[in-house]
Structure 1
Amino acid sequence: MAVCPVGAITTRDYRFKSRPWDNPNVVDTMCTLCSKGCNTSAWLKAKPEWAKGSRLIRMTPRFNAEVNSYWMCDIGRFDYHWVEGDARLRRPMRRRGDALENAAWHDVEPRMRDALQAAGSADAGSVRFLVSAHASTEELFVLKELVQGLLGGDGLKSVSVSWTRTEKVQPPDTKFKVPATNAPNVNGAKDLGYRVGTGNDGLPDLTDLRTAVEGGRVKALYVIDSGPDGSIGDVSWIAAARRSGKLPLLIVQGVVLTELASAADFVLPGAAYVEKDAIYTNDQGRVQGAAQAVVPPGEAREDWQILVNLAASLGLALPYTSSEDVRRALSIDVSFARAMSARSWLQASNPSERWKWDFMYQDLPPVKGHNVQMEGVIPLMPIGK
């Protein structure tokens, strides 16, 4: 599929949706479904009826000699439909009785503030956070500022980071290895000071959080679940604790209506990886950017913005009005960002040019305006060197 020069080899997923030269736009981004961080291109619909109403038509690999060469795995190529699926969160929700109902942001935010303040009034340690390693570095940075600003210098101890691992069956001599860690930013969390245990080499340790939740010592749990369903791991024990009353308050900020979100008191719709400009640190320690291909649906917001608004409602002013503001602060605050002064996410001026054989194999310079560039960034060494 990736090397056929005439398009004779196709996939059932893409077949009859559109022709490559009819697609109005293609955005250079990256895959976030594992720790490799393959460079990819997100293709957007030409006509709604061709893609059955979806905006994303397909994902294809983009050449990067240091990360994925010309290739990508089938998981990254085909597992993107959840972004626009039926379970996608599009509006905030709050619990009324036994059911969740849609609500406006201006209704949810003050109620959530009051509930969090009540939960933390006796003991600030009774408020805990659980964040998926699918969260971008910007989101992790804003969360760090939020918990340290509200809970003090030890605020990060209130945050647990989670992800999953799946060993993929692969030929032993293959050059393109798909890693076991199913999350893009374990190293980004580690660089910011979050506790990640053995990182990409192992599983997260949620023992302390689970013991506290099931023991009734946690009065409020705020979950940031930025990936597809199941990407944060088995958290059925959290939903069970909420239903039993051991956990009085559960807030879930995510992109799909999971079992955990269904048990929450407040549900906040965030942005998926193709709906925001964001950076992630892959398993090589390489900082890479994902570009916004489509806007968040309905009333969903980028996750850094939700956290900034939450901080403001709790009396903590964070000076960010865009993700670029957050990256600028990152470049000052953390060493791994180094000279990250500006980030340009550019789109192809003529996507059909990508299908010339000579362009696919880098024999011609890129189409003007096509490359995703990070200005002034020094190439990074892998973590630990």
Structure 2
Amino acid sequence: MPKLTIDGLEVEVPAGTSVLQAAEELGIEIPRFCYHPRLPVAANCRMCLVEIEKVPKPVASCAQPVGEGMVVKTNSPAALQARKNVMELLLINHPLDCPICDQGGECDLQDQAVAYGKDKGRYIEEKRAVTEKYLGPLIKTAMTRCIHCTRCVRFLTEIAGVPELGMVNRGEHAEITTYVERALTSELSGNIVDLCPVGALTSKPYAFTARPWELKKTESIDVLDAVGSNIRIDTRGNQVMRVLPRLHEDVNEEWLGDKSRAAIDGLAKRRLDTPYVRRDGQLRPATWAEAFAAIEAGLSGLKGAEIAAIAGDLADAESMFALKLLMQALGSPNLDCRQDGAALDPKVSASWRFNTGIAGIEQADALLIVGSNPRIEAPVLNARIRKRVLKGGFKVATVGVKTDLTYAAQHLGDGVEAFQAVVDGENPFFDVLKTAERPMIVLGMGALARADGARILGAARHLAEKAGLVKDGWNGFNVLHTAAARVGGLEIGFVPGKGGLDTRGILKAAAAGKVKAVWLLGADQLPTNPLDSAFVIYQGHHGDVGAQVADVILPGAAYTEKDGTYVNTEGRVQRAQRAVFPPGEAREDWKILRAASEVLGHVLPFDSLDALRDALAAAVPAFATPDAAAPGAWGDFGEAGALDAALGPLGSAVSNYYMTDPISRASPTMAACTLEIIEAGNARTGTHG
């Protein structure tokens, strides 16, 4: 490894390391605009100029590889003067609109102009102006501010895989544009707002609403998909103003999906902020005492087998655990967290985890995707797959409806026949998996939620064992969930007890009058017709599908309004923190269940969140070790038997990325994205959906 000296300090770094990276190893700061550690090097802002001995002019440190014996000066008079000159040139056309710029207060250009710029400029000619560009409902542009760092272009091209931005013209006439003016179609497009070092790209929903120094910042977890992206929630008063990604190398790196970022305006729409009780066929506002009295009356005289509970996709682990204990106290074995009916075996943890881990994708060398579209089910995870594809030596194949995943993938077929051919070794991709050192399969809810889902799961297990996907130090069997609550519910055991009914069984029994009361914990993805004759208790935060069929509504708290534990698709236990308080009479879900248990005569054995978490960790030890993920224990799972081709092609469980849950369905921004991106795209291509 070459040794070099930077500002009198000697450092030894791997060959190929840039001077800028070597300086960071020593804690020496070199200013930059275009350089970003996760993007290809462009070296076009020239702000990172340094002086290198025996080199006649300043050098861009981001693009200069280190050399043996190199002597670098980052703060010499020549280097400082070069930076001042660069800053002066960058500011020639930059408008003086910091007071009205949303980037103000967290702007790299502001900070570096103060630290490295001159106190005056010499340019007296007229400034140029650039027309604004339309990039869709999420991104607001002020392209006169653009300094052509091309971070946005490189992100969309390399990381997101949707090359819809680029530079046209040259010199003073150069502009960043979409070529054809239309909304960006990447599900990760909002990240270019974070990457922009100036105010050229800002958040359109957040525009002119707050200043960064006004905001309280809370570290939390995103629950609008199953990735468990780490986020920061910025609030003012009791209002969520914006959500930004937080660094976690093993989960989301520093990226965030557009829905997770921009659906937050749905938190204030269609909210349930007071209890409701159905009287004379209509839901009417009630007090908590009246709501609990109605529940007591509705459950009175019912046997345990006549009561059921279903947990929704956004439920936290604490509330599911509390509801499970309450159902057990009532004698009911009928409970399920798989409201889509996915055929996941609760007895074998490897059958419902992303066993390689999200970061483990980067070690794999072959991938088969079955019944899933990671691009819309988990955009951040899909970006990790693309990252691995770009490194080379990674073959990807898909079984299911053909779609653009943003990377090259061999399409083996639409239906289960193509999957069965791989399992039987009749498709050449079986040999690809068998000869790979670290092969993996990703099984989606589009496959497992079918009527033959248990047989597909069994076939996938057979393939994993036959092709060597599970071996010492590697488990390549992965299930990609779409619900943040699913893995946590399976860990807790929120599944049918002995003789109990699953979701399909509960709905069928309710329609037949055998199940007479159903407790819906935020369950909004169900067909409600079978529940018409049952007594329905809905506990949730939005007036969505479940609330409309309810006889009693208990207003709960959204994920930004409570401390809760969630388990992502790889089995990683993570804690969300309360950023604001629930509106009106709404309360945290575990508190509602604790209060209801008193009225029902089965008092739950905890009266604080800490006590509840202690009980949860005692029952399920995995909850005692947050932020740890490991492959599940392998075993025998799934069913044998022929796959049902008559059920049609293997599609994704998600049809509209922007509307998958009560929060995003209530969001005006997500409605605009649906209209301007999905429906406009369908109109251009002549497709329907």
Out of 612, 627, 632, the residue aligned to residue 326 of structure 1 is 612
What residue in structure 1 maps to residue 351 of structure 2? none
CA distance in 1, matches of 2:215, 2:252: 26
SS in 1 for 2:337: strand
Match of 1:314 among 561, 586, 600: 600
Per-residue deviation at 1:142? 0.9
Give the one of 120, 141, 144 matched to 2:321: 141
Q: Give distance in 2, aligned partners of 1:295 and 1:126.
A: 35
Q: Could you tell me how far 1:175 is from its partner in structure 2?
A: 3.6
User: Which of 34, 40, 45 is matched with 2:236 structurally?
Assistant: 45
CA RMSD of aligned residues (A): 2.6
Which residue of the partner structure matches residue 245 of structure 2? Answer: 61
Offset at 1:131?
1.2
Q: Alpha carbons of 1:378 and 1:185: their partners in 2 closer, same or farther (altered >3 Å)?
A: closer
1:95 to 278, 303, 307: 278
Q: Deviations over 1:284-317 (max 9, x none)?
A: 1110011000001100011111111111111112
In structure 1, what is the equivalent of residue 513 of structure 2? Answer: 216
SS of corresponding position for 1:79: helix
Q: 1:206 to 1:175 in 2, by over 3 A?
A: farther
User: Which residue of the partner structure matches residue 108 of structure 1?
Assistant: 291
Residue 183 (1) aligns with residue 480 (2): no
Deviations 1:257-292 (A, max 9, x none): 123312321111001001111111111111001100
Paired with 1:190 and 1:330, the residues of 2 have a C-alpha distance of 13
**1:1-385 map, 5 Å:** 1-21=193-213, 23-45=214-236, 55-85=239-269, 87-118=270-301, 120=302, 123-151=303-331, 155=332, 157-163=333-339, 167=373, 168-169=375-376, 173-175=385-387, 181-195=481-495, 206-225=503-522, 232-238=524-530, 241-242=531-532, 246-247=533-534, 249-338=535-624, 379-384=628-633
Give the Cα–Cα distance (whole angstroms) in 1 for the partners of residues 316 and 334 of structure 2: 19
Quote the Cα distance in structure 1 between the aligned partners of 2:632 and 2:581. 33
SS of 1:162's equivalent? Answer: coil
Write the distance in 2 (CA, Å) between the matches of 1:278 and 1:259: 23
Secondary structure of 2:309 counterpart: strand
Paired residues, number: 314
Ranges in structure 1 where 5+ consecutive residues have no aligned partner = 47-53, 197-203, 227-231, 341-376
C-alpha distance 263-331 of structure 1, shift in aligned 2 (>3 A)? closer
Quick one: which amino acid aligns to residue 556 of structure 2?
A: G
TM-score, length basis structure 2: 0.43
The DSSP-based 3-state class of the residue aligned with 1:253 is strand
- Contact conserved, 2:334 with 2:502, CA < 8 A, in 1? no
Instruction: Check conservation: 1:286, 1:382, Cα contact below 8 A.
Output: no
Shift of 1:205: 6.5
SS of alignment partner, residue 77 of structure 1: helix
SS in 1 for 2:310: strand
Cα drift, residue 70 of structure 1: 0.5
Q: 1:7 and 1:306, CA in 2 relative to 1: closer, same or farther beyond 3 A?
A: same
- 1:55 offset after TM fit, Å? 0.6
Q: d(CA) in 2 for partners of 1:158 and 1:334?
A: 20
Counterpart CA distance in 2 for 1:258 and 1:191 is 27
Q: How far apart are the structure 1 equivalents of 2:203 and 2:253?
A: 21
- Distance in 2 separating the partners of 1:112 and 1:206: 21
Q: Distance in 2 between matches of 1:294 and 1:34?
A: 21
C-alpha displacement at 1:189, in angstroms?
1.0
Preserved contact between residue 91 and residue 298 of structure 1 (Cα < 8 Å): yes
So what's the TM-score if we normalise by structure 1?
Answer: 0.75
Amino acid at match of 1:14: Y
Letter in 1 for 2:297: D
Percent identity over paired residues: 30
Query: AA paired with 2:503?
Result: L
How far, CA to CA, are the matches of 2:319 and 2:241 in structure 1? 27
Give the drift of 1:207.
Answer: 2.0
Residue equivalent to 2:9: none
1:93-151 Cα offsets, whole Å, 9 max, x none, are: 11111221111111221221121113x1xx32111111113211111111121112221
- Look up the SS of the partner of 1:71 in the other structure: coil
1:76-95, Cα deviation, whole Å (9 max, x unpaired): 0111222211x100000111
Higher relative contact order structure (alpha carbons within 8 Å, sequence separation ≥ 6): 1
Q: Which SS does the other structure have where 2:518 is aligned? A: strand
CA separation in 2, counterparts of 1:163 and 1:287?
A: 21
The CA deviation at 1:159 is 0.6
Deviation of the 1:378 alpha carbon: 7.7
In structure 2, do the counterparts of structure 1 residues 295 and 378 end up closer, same or farther at CA, with 3 Å as the change threshold?
closer
Is the 8 Å Cα contact of residues 280 and 287 (structure 1) preserved in structure 2? yes
Q: 1:25 to 1:181 in 2, by over 3 A?
A: same
Q: In structure 1, what is the Cα distance between the partners aligned to 2:245 and 2:199?
A: 15
| SS of structure 2 residue aligned to 1:174 | helix
CA spacing shift, 1:332–1:94, aligned 2, 3 Å: same
| Paired letter, 1:383 | G
Q: Gaps spanning 5+ residues in structure 2: where?
A: 1-192, 343-371, 389-404, 407-443, 445-479, 635-689
Q: Is the 8 A contact 1:37 1:184 kept in 2?
A: yes
Deviation at 1:163, TM superposition (A): 4.9
Q: 1:192 to 1:254 in 2, by over 3 A?
A: same
Distance between the aligned counterparts of 1:298 and 1:381, measured in 2? Answer: 40
Moved more, 320-329 or 35-44: 320-329
C-alpha distance in 1, partners of 2:554/2:628?
Answer: 36
CA distance in 2, matches of 1:79, 1:301: 22
Over 3 Å counting, the alpha-carbon distance change for 1:15 and 1:330 in structure 2 is same
